[in-house]
Amino acid sequence: MKPPRKPRADRPQNTAAVLPKDPHEDAFFARSGIVAITAFAGPFAAVGATTLKNSAAMTLALLMTLLPASLLRFCLREKAGLPRWIEVPLCTLSSMAMACLASVLLPRLFPLALDSLGLYLFLFASYSVVAAVFSEKKVRTAQGAAGWAMQFVLLFALVTGVVGFVRELLAYGQVWGISLLPSGFTLEGAKMPFFGLILLGLLIGLLRYFRSLYAVLHRRRAR
Amino acid sequence: MKRLKLPPMGVFHRGIPMEQHKEPALSQPLDLLTNTPEPQRMEGQPVYPDLEHVEPFEIIRAAKAAGIIDERDGLPLFKKLKACVAKGVFIRVDAVDDEPYLSSQLGPLLRFREECVSGLRLACKAITAADSGIIEVYRNMADLEIKIPRSIEGIRVRRIGGFYPTEIRSGYSLVEEEGKRYLYLGSCALIHLHRAVFQGLAQTTAFLTVGGNCVAHPCNLEVSLGLPVTDVLDRCGLTETPTRVVVGGSMTGQSVSDTDKALVTVTTRGVLAFRDKEQTDRSPCIRCGRCVQVCPMGLNPMMLYRSIQQGLERETEALDYKHCIECMCCSFECPARLEIAEAIKEYRRGRRSAT
Amino acid sequence: MKLSSRTAPHIRGGRSNRTVMLDMIVTLAAVYFMAWYYYGRRALILGAVSVAVCLAADHACTLLRGRKPQLLDLSAVVTGMLIPLMMPASIPYRVPVVAGLFAICIVKQAFGGLGNNIFNPAAAGVAFAIVCWGGTMFAYPTPFTPLETVGNVSALLTSGPAYTLYVGGVPRLDAGTLLQGVIAGPMGTTNVLVIAACGLYLAARRTIHFLQPLLMLGTVALCSLLFPRGMSEGLTSVVNELFFTPVVFFGVFLFTDPVTTPIRGVAKGLYAVFSGILCALLTRFGGYEMMFPFALLLMNAFVPLFDLAAEAYCTRERRRAYEKAGEHASNDFGPDDDEAAPEAQG
C-alpha cells in the first residue's frame, strides 16, 4: 500500500514560498505577471493573436495606450492633489484617446491588422484598470511607472508573440508572411480561439516550470 | 450507533454476490486438533444431568466458569446472557457464514446438532426467553454437497438471503426490530455451553475452517487454543507455498507475518492460505464507480479514497466515513486494485487515536 | 514460515483495469473487422498507425511528466482504435495522427493522465479533426471500392446519407443495405447491428452498464420521433437517425467511458438522458453533419455538476434513512468490570 501523503501543512503551499524576496530580482518573474497573463492577455491571445503580425500590432497598441496611462496615473497620484477616485476615469479616457491614435497610425505599419483585430484594439483601454490594481506597491518614481508599464508590455509581447507564432505556423504554414512549411499541411483549427486558449494554458505551464527551475537554481547558488 | 436498513437507492444493487467456496471443507468430517490428550474438566464445577435440573443462574455461572467467549463478537457469553435475563428477549443462533471459504459456524452446527440445540435450550432457559429460538443460516451458497435441513431437533432453521455482507454481519449482537429484541449467539458458543453445563468442560478449543487455494485438504477443525497456525496448516497440508496466510475471514481477516508466532485464539474463525497471482501494474482510479455501486452503507468510497489521500479532512467528514462497516466490498470490486477500504480503516484508526 | 503482511480483502473480484480495456479492444476489433470487410486493408492500416501514434505519445508524455510509463496500460490503445473509426476510410494518414496527438498529449496528459481527464480524448481528437479538415472528414468512399493503402486515394468520394439528413432530405435506401451497413459513412459506425452486439457483449461482461447506452439512444430515438428532421416522419425518422448517423457507435463506445461519466447510478441515468437530448438538439441545429463529438465534449464539461448534485441527493437520502432506522443495535451488555457471577434468585 502506498504510504499516506504528508499532511498539507508540511508541503509548501505554492512556489511563491521558495521564490527570492528581493524585489529587483522579482521584477520579470513577478507573480503579477502570471495573473496578468491569465486575466487580461487571455482574450487577446486567444482571439487576436492568430498571426505574428497581429501580435506585434497588439503589442504596439498596448505600448501606446499603457505607457501614457501609467505615467498619467503616477502624476495624478503623487503630484496633483486630485482625489483618488478620479484616477480610473481619467486614465481610461487617456487610454481611449491613445487607442484612437493607434487605430490611425497602426494601419501604416500593419495594413491588415485593423481588419483582423477590430474591436480588440480599443479594448486596450481596459488595461488602465490593470494599472490601478497591480502597480500599487511598485510605483514610487516616474521611472518606476514607466518601468512597470514596459515590463507589462514586454510580458504581453512574449505571450502573444509565442501564441501568435505557433498559431501562424500551424494554421498558415507561415511566419510573418514567409512560408516555412510545405503547403497542404495546415491545421485550420489553430485559427480558432479554443486553440489559443489551449496554447495559453501550455505556455503558463512552461512559465511556471521555468520559475521553479529558477527558484531551484537560486537556492543552489545561495548555499 | 444506529444500524440501518437502507432504502434502495438508484437502479443498482448493493453488496456483492460472492462465490462461496464452502466445499470441500464443509463436507469433510470435523476433527479435533489438540495438544492435550484428555478434555479438561473444571474443578469445583458441578455437572448437571439434564435441562430440568439446572437453574437459569447456574447456567450463567457455568458459562462464566468455563470462560466461554462468543466467537461472533468476542464478548463473554455469560455477560450477554446476564444482560438479557427476564427481559423478553428472543434468541437467534448465528450460523451465517457469508464470507467465502468460511464455514466455522455452519460446520459445527451440522456436525454437533444435538449439542448446539441443547446449548440453545440452555440459553433460552437462562434468560427465560420468549420462545425457543431460531437458527439462521445463509441462503446463497450454491456449491454445497451437504443439505441444510428446514429444522434441526425441532428448532426452525431460517435462511437469510442477500448479497455479502448480509445484515447481521455488522457485528452487533443485541438488535431491536419492530419492537422486539433479539440476542445473537454464535453456534459454537452454544456447543461450548452444552459441554460446560452437562460435561463440566471449560472452553479450550475454537472451531475454525482451514481453506484457501493452496490447502491440500480443506476442512473444519476444532483446534486447541494457543496452537500456532503452522500446526493447523500442517494438519491439512499445503499444495504450494502460500503468498498470504489469513487468520479470520477471507474478506475481513488479518494476514499473519509469522505463522509460528500467530496463535489460535477464541475468536479465530478460519485459517486460510492463498497464493495470489502477481500484480503487475499499478493503475490509477479510472472512476468506474463500481465501489459506489456495491457499498452496502450507501457511501462513496471513491471520493473518500481521494479525499483521504489528499488530506482533505472536512470533505472526508462530510462523506460520512464514520459509517463504514469495513466489509471490504469496495476494495473487492475495484478493477484498479486500490486499497480503498484499508485507507478508510487507517483513517478511522488515526482519528480515533487522535481524539 | 515468514510472510509479508497483506491487507484485506484477501480475495479480489475478477475484474481488473486490463480486463476492462481488453473487453473494449476485443469489441473494437470486431468493428475493425467490419471496416476491413467494407474498405480493405487501408482501414486496418489506419487503425494500426493511429494506435502506434497514441501509444508512443502516451509513453512520451508520461516520461515527460516524470513518471514511469506503464507498458501494460492499454487505455491509449483504446483511444487509438476509436479515432479512425469515426473518420472515412479514405482519409489521409496525417488526420488520425494529428487527432491522436491532440487527444493524447493535450486532452489526456495535459489534464493529468489516465483517470484525471475531464474530456473524452477520442471525441476531442475527432472534434479537432472536424474543425481542421471539415471537408475531408465528411467525404466518404462507397463500400467495396478498392482504396490504395499508401498515398492519396483516387476513388470517388461522396457524401453519405447523414449529409442528406443534415440538409433536410430523406435518404433512400432499402432495408437490406441498411441492415448490412453498406452505406457511405465513417469507417466503423455504419454497421449498427455489429455495434449493438458489441454493446450487448460489453453489458454482459459488466464493463458498461446496459442502461447507459440504452437511455441515451432511447432519448435520441424519442426526440427524433417527436421532432423529425427534414421530411421524414415517425418511425422512418427514428430508423434514419439510428442507422444513418453514427449515434449508436457514440452511445456504445464513447458516452460510456468510465473516466468521463458521473459516478452515482442516479447521475449516470440522468447524464444519459441529457446527453441524448443534447445530441438531438445539436444534430438538429448544429453546423456539421456529425455533431456528436461536440455534444459529448459539452456534456463532459457538466459531469462534475451531475456528480455534486447526485452526491448531495444521495447523502440527504442516506442520512434520512439513518434517522428513520427503526432498529437499534448495540453490543452494550453492561459495564466491563461487572464480573460478578449471578446469584440465586429467590
Taking residues B188-214, report their average pLDDT: 89
Which of these ranges, A73-82, A85-94, A96-105, B317-326, has the smallest mean pLDDT?
A73-82
CA distances from C136 to B334, C87, C121, C152 (A): 42, 9, 21, 12
Report the distance separating Cα B318 and Cα B311, nearest Å: 13
Which tens digit of pLDDT belongs to each residue from B264-300? 888 888 999 988 877 666 688 888 888 898 888 888 9
The amino acid occupying position C294 is F
Which tens digit of pLDDT belongs to each residue from C189-211? 888 999 999 999 999 988 888 88
Report the distance separating Cα A17 and Cα A95, nearest Å: 36
Report the distance separating Cα B218 and Cα B213, nearest Å: 9
User: Do residues B94 and B169 touch, judged by C-beta distance below 8 A?
Assistant: no
Q: Which residues of A touch C133 (CB under 8 A)?
A: 188
| Structure-block grid coordinates of residue B46 | 458441578
Report the distance separating Cα A70 and Cα A80, nearest Å: 15
* A199: nearest CA partner in chain C: C106
Asked whether residue A159 carries a pLDDT value surpassing 60, the answer given is yes
* C253: helix, strand or coil: helix
Which segments within C255-316 are labelled E, that is strand?
none
Best C65, C131, C298 member to test A by mutation, with max A CBs in 10 Å, is: C131
Q: Considering only residues 131 to 190 of chain C, which have any Cβ-Cβ distance to chain B shorter than 8 Å?
A: none
Q: Which residues of A touch B346 (CB under 8 A)?
A: 4
What angle, rounded to 10 degrees, do the helices at C292-301 and C121-132 form?
Answer: 130
Q: Which residues of B touch C322 (CB under 8 A)?
A: 2, 4, 323
Report the distance separating Cα B233 and Cα B266, nearest Å: 17
Which tens digit of pLDDT belongs to each residue from B36-64? 777 778 777 888 888 888 888 888 888 88
List phi, psi (to 5°) of A133: -75, -45
Instruction: Count A/C contacts: CB-CB distance under 8 Å.
Output: 18
Which tens digit of pLDDT belongs to each residue from B7-36? 333 333 477 877 788 878 888 888 888 877
* Burial class, A221, CB count within 10 angstroms (exposed 0-12 / middle 13-18 / buried 19+): exposed
Report the distance separating Cα A47 and Cα A56, nearest Å: 14
User: Do residues C224 and C71 touch, judged by C-beta distance below 8 A?
Assistant: no
* C93: nearest CA partner in chain A: A185
Asked whether residue C277 carries a pLDDT value surpassing 90, the answer given is yes
List phi, psi (to 5°) of C274: -65, -35
B269 and C CB contact within 8 Å: no
Which tens digit of pLDDT belongs to each residue from B331-341? 998 888 888 99
* B169: nearest CA partner in chain C: C329
Query: Strand pairing partners for B137?
Result: B159
- The CATH code that applies to domain B31-199 is 3.40.50
Q: What's the whole-number average pLDDT of chain B?
A: 84
- The CATH code that applies to domain C17-319 is 1.10.3430
Report the distance separating Cα A24 and Cα B21, nearest Å: 73
Asked whether residue C317 carries a pLDDT value surpassing 70, the answer given is yes
Whole-complex ipTM: 0.83
Report the distance separating Cα B272 and Cα B237, nearest Å: 12
Q: Which residues of B touch C317 (CB under 8 A)?
A: 7, 9, 298
Place of cell 461522396: C158
Query: How wide is the angle at C-alpha A105 spanned by C-alphas A99 and A109, nearest 5°?
Result: 125
pTM equals 0.83
Confidence band, pLDDT 50/70/90 cuts, at residue C328: low
The amino acid occupying position A129 is V
Q: How many CB atoms lie within 10 A of CB A223?
A: 4
Half-sphere exposure of B349 (CA within 13 A, CB side): 7
Asked whether residue B159 carries a pLDDT value surpassing 90, the answer given is no
User: Do residues B87 and B78 touch, judged by C-beta distance below 8 A?
Assistant: no
* B255: helix, strand or coil: strand
Q: Which residues of C touch A205 (CB under 8 A)?
A: 110
Q: Considering only residues 257 to 286 of chain C, which have any Cβ-Cβ distance to chain B shorter than 8 Å?
A: 258-259, 261-266, 268-269
Which tens digit of pLDDT belongs to each residue from C216-270? 999 999 998 988 887 777 788 888 888 888 999 999 999 998 889 998 888 999 9
- The per-residue DSSP string of B189-246 comes to HHHHHHHHHHH-B---EEEEEEESTTBSS-EEEEEETT-BHHHHHHHH-BSS--SEEE
